[in-house]
Amino acid sequence: MTTLDLDQLATITGGADSFGRCGPGSSWGFLGNVYTPQCAAHDASVRGAEASGMSKVLSHLQALPLLPAAVGSWVKAKLGR
């Protein structure tokens, strides 16, 4: 697993936003600023589905299979593994 800092993320996304951040946007500050490829994959799935016209709820449901890996990557990053 690779963890990205904000400067690395900005290089990839073109700006430091909450894309790839583990958790719902940046509103849950207690989760920390953890950015992982697995969380980015989940975000990309949700954003891609929304961009194609799918509702927010259905977009999240479609991305649900990617959620366990995203959560696991957050746990590993927080534990320093």
In angstroms, the CA 18 to CA 28 distance is: 11
Q: Give the residue-averaged pLDDT of 10-24.
A: 70
More confident residue, 59 or 12: 59
Yes or no: say if 5 and 40 are a contact pair by the CB < 8 Å rule: no
> Is residue 11 pLDDT above 80, yes or no?
no
Its pTM surpasses 0.85: no
Answer whether 41's CB lies under 8 Å from 49's CB: no
Per residue in 27-73, pLDDT (tens digit) is: 788 888 899 999 999 999 999 999 999 999 999 999 999 999 999 99
The pLDDT of residue 12 is above 60: no
Cβ atoms of residues 72 and 42 within 8 Å = no
How many angstroms separate the CA atoms of 21 and 44, rounded? Answer: 11
Query: Which pLDDT does position 59 carry in this prediction?
Result: 94
